[in-house]
Structure 1
Amino acid sequence: MASSLKYTVHQYGAHELQRLGVWDLDVADKTHTKYWIVFIHGGAWRDPRVAHDTFAPVITRFLESSSTAGGSTGSIPVAAFASLDYRLSPHPEFPQDPATTPPDRFRGAKHPDHLDDVRAALAFLQNRFGFGSRYVLVGHSAGACLAYQLLAGLSSIEDVEVEFPAAVFGVEGIYDMTGFNARFGGGYAGFLEGAFGPQDRWDEAAPMKCPGSYGDWYPGGLAVLGHSVDDDMVDMPETDGMAERLKKDGVEVLLVKDLTGPHDDAWQDGRGVARIVLRVLDILRERARE
């Protein structure tokens, strides 16, 4: 059903991966009461097979939820869906020759390149469509890390103005690279080093361990963390630890642990993510009535 919506692709930079997709429900929302849902995909910061269009199944679940409830797409409190691509780190299974690959196609990103792209993409969307903070930022796996890194101000392009979202939803995220890798016996060092460099640099980029306070960066915001009991790639301590950090910093946290299915079911199936985001929208609308 995502295919029934008007879909456009926009470039926010010169690299082929500096692009984003927009699915239009009511982009011209005259009431200014509807929210955008903005997605950051995962893929270990490097997988070229995971791109912005992998959000389509979640969009379909949103539309199905309205149909099941006897409503129309216009009854969903969403103006549009957007999904962001960003420059990727090298992947050993998909090598590129830097001598022959054009710069605008070469996947050689290193932190904070991925995050800088997320910030630039959000600025592009906000400047073009004017929705300000009326959006829910959803990130899966590495995308969840990027969402919370954004709040922590870990981008190198802070002069690019971005309004933070009404709610941030991290799904099965990676928030403490050192602890995560250690619990898996060092098995994830390869892609983490590819994205963040030597291990002694990981903590300064980790949303769970970075200095400062989310209470200062994100006052009054809603932080949502979700995890599947069946996740086969990222373990529950990542989500639990991030929840503890946010609560310690005085941020309101909604912790959801009733997702099911393996790691990539979050976007391949989409039911759980759609259900939780609809719940978040209910919370935001209730806040607005208070």
Structure 2
Amino acid sequence: MTEEEEDRDRALWASVPWTPVTGPPGPTTPDDTTITSAASSTTGNGSVIIGWQKKDVPYLPNATALQAFDIWIPASSTSSSQQPSKEGSAVDVVPPEPNSIPGGKGVWVVFLHGGAWRDPRVSSTSFSPTAGHILRHIHNRHQKEDVRLGGMISLNYRLSPHPDYPPNHPEYPGDGRGAKHPDHIHDVLSGISFLQRLLKPSPENEDEFVLVGHSCGATLAFQALMDSSRRGLPPTQGLVKPSVVVGVNGLYDLAGFIKAPTKGYEGLRDAYEKFVAGAFGEDESVWREVGPASAGNWLPEWQTLEGGQRTEEGRKRVRKRKAVLVQSKQDTLVPYDQLEKMRDYLLKHATTAAAAAAAGDGDGDGDGDGEEERAGLQVFEMEIGGEHDEIWEKGDQLARILLKVISWL
């Protein structure tokens, strides 16, 4: 990477200021966390700063409005300072400088939202409730336990057109809403690459990166484990793939559902076919290839860096790979057998993938619900309750799952 490219990345990062995330001290409810709009925040009203946020950070030069991400970091991980206010009755907390990049060790969580690749109402902000829960947990318990969290990212990506929200829609402008495959996954890889260029992780630190996706975001999360050459994209050189992927109410076999809908979900077939064709075109072979549970064996690609690179240390750490599949049986939009197909696919191909990557036996260090292990990969099945979007709308269940995952690393 040239010095000019590094300067460009830093300028994009610094273009958005840090904003405090506040909440009352002690136990809280989901609605108690707020994002203040000022560049500094006083703690004299009884609330405390539990973290810092940057919103809509562009990850590409000349980015559209959707080629951006939100980021949250715990308050304890920054170099913010406290100064007496002019009135002397409160304390003004001065945020980190806009160009300040979080330092130190810790797990980074990257979230990919759902919305069927096209719904402009679902965006990076869908992770806000979960981020608030996690920041409060860390703030309230940092003296008692060490939660190794570096930060959390919620990534936007360009969307395909939506028939109900034309480009001239007053609330949802058309900028970035004309995408076709592979634009969505290209943006995801670009955003992750931008983050990693700033944080500069090495393959030996891959355990510090967790990729999480909800609904079609889960599809994208698993696609990000594959080599980008599958999509006709140039390799994102040096991209460190995560050791853990979490799919929540995910879509894994689109072609299979459209061909033979799950019993009780037959009425959704036409809707599925429309949004899948809108995102990926009319070719059914493409539908099979983009589905992580219906594509050919891609698991060996998870074990390598982009471009086929693999370090000796990376070979040793292949046994650390974990896939966490989360699904609600009360979900009326995505049937539970989507999880089952993804689980069965992973377990079927795990031994072959591990052998191809010269891995040893699994280390069995997880403690998740419904854990199954094959050489090179641990698969965890977690059943949750609630409707399709409830897990991110409330955020508490997802926060508990992610805190558990972070504790494994």
TM-score range for the pair, normalised by the shorter chain length: 0.7 to 0.9
Larger deviation, residues 21-30 vs 161-170:
21-30
1:178, 1:199 within 8 Å by CA — same for their partners in 2? no
Aligned mates of 1:217, 1:123 — CA distance in 2: 16
Correspondence 1:65-214 to 2 at 5 A: 65-66=137-138, 70-71=141-142, 75-96=146-167, 105-132=175-202, 133=206, 134-153=208-227, 154-161=230-237, 162-181=239-258, 182-183=260-261, 184-185=265-266, 186-187=269-270, 188-200=272-284, 201-214=286-299
Name the CA shift for 1:234/1:138 in 2 (closer, same or farther; >3 Å): same
Unaligned runs of 5+ in 2: 1-32, 36-48, 78-100, 304-317, 351-375
Q: Aligned AA for 1:160?
A: T
1:243, 1:253 within 8 Å by CA — same for their partners in 2? no
Aligned mates of 1:265, 1:131 — CA distance in 2: 33
Q: Aligned AA for 2:298?
A: S
Aligned mates of 1:270, 1:156 — CA distance in 2: 36
What are the Cα deviations for residues 207-266 of structure 1, in whole angstroms up to 9, with x where unaligned?
111123314533432111111121121011111110111111215233333311100012
**Rg (Cα) greater in structure:** 2
**Dislocated runs of 4+, deviation >6 Å:** none
**Structure-1 residue corresponding to 2:18:** none
**Structure-1 residue corresponding to 2:115:** 43
Name the CA shift for 1:73/1:49 in 2 (closer, same or farther; >3 Å): farther
Name the CA shift for 1:193/1:171 in 2 (closer, same or farther; >3 Å): same
RMSD: 2.3
Name the CA shift for 1:74/1:93 in 2 (closer, same or farther; >3 Å): farther
**Structure-2 residue corresponding to 1:225:** 325
Name the CA shift for 1:259/1:72 in 2 (closer, same or farther; >3 Å): farther
Larger deviation, residues 235-244 vs 123-132:
123-132
Q: Aligned AA for 2:186?
A: D
- Tell me how many residue pairs correspond in the alignment: 277
Q: Between the two proteins, what is the percent identity of the paired residues?
A: 35
**How far has the Cα of 1:6 moved from its partner?**
1.6
Q: What SS is found at the alignment partner of 1:198?
A: coil
**How far has the Cα of 1:121 moved from its partner?**
0.3
**How far has the Cα of 1:66 moved from its partner?**
3.8
The structure whose RCO (Cα within 8 Å, separation 6+) is larger is 1
What are the Cα deviations for residues 44-64 of structure 1, in whole angstroms up to 9, with x where unaligned?
000111111110101122134
Larger deviation, residues 11-20 vs 34-43:
11-20
What are the Cα deviations for residues 177-225 of structure 1, in whole angstroms up to 9, with x where unaligned?
0122331432311111111111522001111111233145334321111
2:52, 2:72 within 8 Å by CA — same for their partners in 1? yes
**Structure-2 residue corresponding to 1:12:** 59
Name the CA shift for 1:43/1:72 in 2 (closer, same or farther; >3 Å): farther
Are positions 1:277 and 2:361 aligned together?
no
Q: What SS is found at the alignment partner of 1:21?
A: strand
Q: Aligned AA for 1:177?
A: L
- The one of 135, 151, 160 aligned to 1:63: 135
Aligned mates of 2:226, 2:255 — CA distance in 1: 18
Aligned mates of 1:42, 1:72 — CA distance in 2: 35
What are the Cα deviations for residues 253-286 of structure 1, in whole angstroms up to 9, with x where unaligned?
33333311100012101122111111212222xx
Aligned mates of 1:148, 1:189 — CA distance in 2: 21
Task: Report the TM-score when normalising by structure 1.
Answer: 0.88
**Structure-1 residue corresponding to 2:378:** 253
1:152, 1:207 within 8 Å by CA — same for their partners in 2? no
**How far has the Cα of 1:136 moved from its partner?**
0.7
